[in-house]
Structure 1
Amino acid sequence: MATSVRRTLVALHRGACHRLKNAETSLEHPLPLYLPARTKKRYFIPPAAGLKGKREQNPETKARAAGIVFRQQYLERPINIACTAGVFDPYIPPEGDARLSALSKEGLKQRTEQIRQSAASQLAIRKIKEHDSQFSTKGFAERAQEIFIEAHGALTQFNKEKLHSLVTERCYPEMTRGNRYKTIRWTFVESLEVPRVVHARCPDMVTKGNLYGQVTVRMHSKQTLAIYDRFGRLMLGSEEQPKDVLEYLVLERHLINPYGMWRLHGKIVPSWAPAKDPIVKTLCIPGPELKPWQEFDPLSHEIPKPAAVQWYK
C-alpha cells in the first residue's frame, strides 16, 4: 500500500514539474491562439511535362475537382477587313494570248468573246467609279504597272514597310516566302504592249455594302530575273538575258475606306502557261575528318560516289 502511494506521489510531482517548465517556455515563446488544420487543396497543379509512360489525366477534370472552372475556348479565325482572302470570279486568259495576231481568224474570235464577257466588268467599273471618282481604265493600267515595278523593287531591297503599302496581306507572304537567305536581282527592261484592263469585279464581303474592287490588268513586258543562294551561287535566271513575260495582275482596294489604296493582290497563271525553269539547289558534300593540326587539300580530296544499288522488281 505504501509503495503504490509513493509511486502516485512521484508521478504527480513529475507532472507538476513538467507543467512548470511548459509555462516558462510559453512565456518566452507564446503559442498561437489557433491550430492550423489541413483542409482540401483549392489550387490546380498542371500536369508535369515530359512524363512518358504514365497515364495522363484530363486537366479539365482535375481542375473541376479542385473547384476551378475552365474558361471556354473559342476556335475563331482572325478576319482582315483590309483585303479579301482570294480572287472573286478570276479572269480566264484565252489560250495563245500574245502569240496570235488580232488579224488572224483565231485572234478575232478571242476578241469578240472578250467583248461579250465585258458586260459584268462594265457594271463593276461603274460601282468602282461611284467610290473612286478618279478611276479610269486607261490611267489605271499605267498606274498598275508602276505599282508592280515599285513592289518588285522593294522586294529586291527587302524594304518591308514599302512592300506592305504596295501589296495586300494575302499577296505579301506569297512574295516573301523562301527568300530569307537569297539575293534577288530583278529589272524591268521595257513594255512590249500597252497594259490594259481586261477584267473587273466589285464583290462585297461579310455584310452587304462592304465593297471591294478587284481589277485584272494584262501586262506584256520584258524583264530580267536572277536569284542567288546564300553562298552567292546562281539558282535561277540570268541578269544579262531578258525574257518576255505575260502576266495578269489583280489589284484590289477597299472601296468604302476613304483612305484605301490600290494594291497588288495576286496573279492569275493560265493553265496553258509553260512550266517554270527548275531551281538549282546547293548541296553540302561531306569532307574528310581532319585533326586540329591537319589542313585540307582540295586537290587530293576525292568526292565519294554513292554505292550502286540493285533494284529488284
Structure 2
Amino acid sequence: MRKRSSRSNALGLARDSRAFHPTPTAFLARTRSPYSTRTCAFAPLTLRRRARTLKNSTPGIRKIREYDANFKIKDFPEKAKDIFIEAHLCLNNSDHDRLHTLATENCFPDMVEDLKYKTVRWSFVESLEPPQVVQVRCSSMLNQSNLYGQVTVRMHTRQTLAIYDRFGRLMYGQEDVPKDVLEYVVFEKHLTNPYGSWRMHGKIIPSWAPPKQPILKTVMIPGPQLKPWEDYEEPQGEAQKLV
C-alpha cells in the first residue's frame, strides 16, 4: 500500500491521483530571483532598478488592466500585505475555509503542511519597509484565452511565530521574540474568471536565504517491556524520592 505524501494529504489526495485545479497555475512565473546578493536584497530599490522593473513588467500590467480596470501598481502592495496577513492569521485558528479564499490550491498545501494536531501562534508586528512590486507577469494555461496574472511583492516585515505540538510543548520559534523576515510573495489571479480574486500563490526563496530553524519533533521514549505476569518495580532511587 502506497503512503500518501504530506502535500497530497493536505488536499486529501493520493500522490498518483492528484486532482487538476483549473483555477490556479502550478508554477511561479519568474525569470530570475529579484536580487542575487544579500546586500541588494536588504537595500531599498534604486531608481534605476525600479525603472527597469516597470519596463519589464509593462506588458503584464497592460494585460491585467484589460481584465481588471481597478488594478494599480501603487495600490496593489498594500492590498497584497492585507491578504498576506489575513492568510497567516487563518493558521492560528485553523480556518481553512477562509484560507482557501486567500491562497491558491498551489499555496494552500504548503501553508498547512505538517500542522495537523499542532497549534500555531503567528502575529504581524510591523513593516520595516513599504511593500514593493518587483515583477508582474501574465501567462496562459491550456489555451491562450485562459489567462493568469502574477504579481511578485517584496515584503520586509517583523513577525512572531511559535508552533506547539499537541501536548502544548514548543517546537519552533517564540511568541515574544519578533524576527525580521524578507520575503518575495507571489500573488495570482485568474483574469478570465469574472469571479477571480487575488490570492497568495507561493514564495520565491533566493539562493542566499539562510536555512530555516529545524523543528523540534516529539518522540516517545520506550519504557521497560514487561510480561503480563510480571510487576513493575521502581528503581530504589526513584522510590526514595517519592518518600
Give the TM interval when normalised to the shorter protein: 0.7 to 0.9
- 1:251 and 1:146 map into 2 onto residues whose CA distance is 12
Q: Provide Cα deviations, 1:227-263, integer angstroms capped at 9, x if missing partner.
A: 1111211111000100000111100001011110000
From 233, 238, 242, the equivalent of 1:300 is 238
From 133, 144, 157, the equivalent of 2:93 is 157
- 1:116 and 1:143 map into 2 onto residues whose CA distance is 23
Distance 1:169 1:119, change over 3 A: same
Distance 1:237 1:78, change over 3 A: closer
In the other structure, the counterpart of 2:20 is 79
Q: Unpaired segments of 5 or more residues in structure 2?
A: 1-15
Q: Provide Cα deviations, 1:83-127, integer angstroms capped at 9, x if missing partner.
A: 101112255121123534x5xxxx75xx53453343231110111
Shift of 1:136: 0.7
Letter in 1 for 2:29: F
In the other structure, the counterpart of 1:180 is 116
Instruction: Provide the secondary structure at the position in 1 that maps to 2:80.
Output: helix
- 1:285 and 1:92 map into 2 onto residues whose CA distance is 44
TM-score (norm 1): 0.65
In the other structure, the counterpart of 1:139 is 75
Shift of 1:155: 1.5
- 2:206 and 2:119 map into 1 onto residues whose CA distance is 28
In the other structure, the counterpart of 1:5 is none
Q: Which has the larger radius of gyration?
A: 1
- 1:261 and 1:296 map into 2 onto residues whose CA distance is 63
Aligned-residue sequence identity (percent) comes to 51
- 2:138 and 2:93 map into 1 onto residues whose CA distance is 33
RMSD: 2.5
Task: Tell me, yes or no, if structure 1 residue 97 matches structure 2 residue 97.
Answer: no
- 2:82 and 2:219 map into 1 onto residues whose CA distance is 38
Instruction: Provide the secondary structure at the position in 2 that maps to 1:138.
Output: coil
Q: Unpaired segments of 5 or more residues in structure 1?
A: 1-74, 302-313
Shift of 1:182: 1.0
> Per residue, is there more strand in 1 or in 2?
2
Distance 1:192 1:209, change over 3 A: same
**1:1-313 aligned within 5 A:** 78-94=19-35, 95=37, 96-100=39-43, 112-289=48-225, 300=238
Shift of 1:294: 5.3
Shift of 1:203: 0.9
Instruction: Provide the secondary structure at the position in 2 that maps to 1:281.
Output: coil
Distance 1:78 1:294, change over 3 A: closer
- 1:201 and 1:225 map into 2 onto residues whose CA distance is 31
Instruction: Provide the secondary structure at the position in 2 that maps to 1:143.
Output: helix
Does structure 2 conserve the Cα–Cα contact (< 8 Å) formed by 1:168 and 1:264? yes
Instruction: Provide the secondary structure at the position in 1 that maps to 2:121.
Output: strand
Letter in 2 for 1:173: P
- 1:246 and 1:114 map into 2 onto residues whose CA distance is 18
Distance 1:282 1:149, change over 3 A: same
Distance 1:90 1:224, change over 3 A: farther
Does structure 1 conserve the Cα–Cα contact (< 8 Å) formed by 2:53 and 2:135? no
Q: Considering Cα pairs closer than 8 Å and 6+ residues apart, tell me whether 1 or 2 has the greater RCO.
A: 2
Instruction: Provide the secondary structure at the position in 2 that maps to 1:195.
Output: strand
Q: Provide Cα deviations, 1:285-304, integer angstroms capped at 9, x if missing partner.
A: 12234679758679629xxx
Distance 1:135 1:223, change over 3 A: same
In the other structure, the counterpart of 1:67 is none
TM-score (norm 2): 0.82
Shift of 1:133: 0.8
Instruction: Provide the secondary structure at the position in 1 that maps to 2:152.
Output: strand
- 2:215 and 2:140 map into 1 onto residues whose CA distance is 40
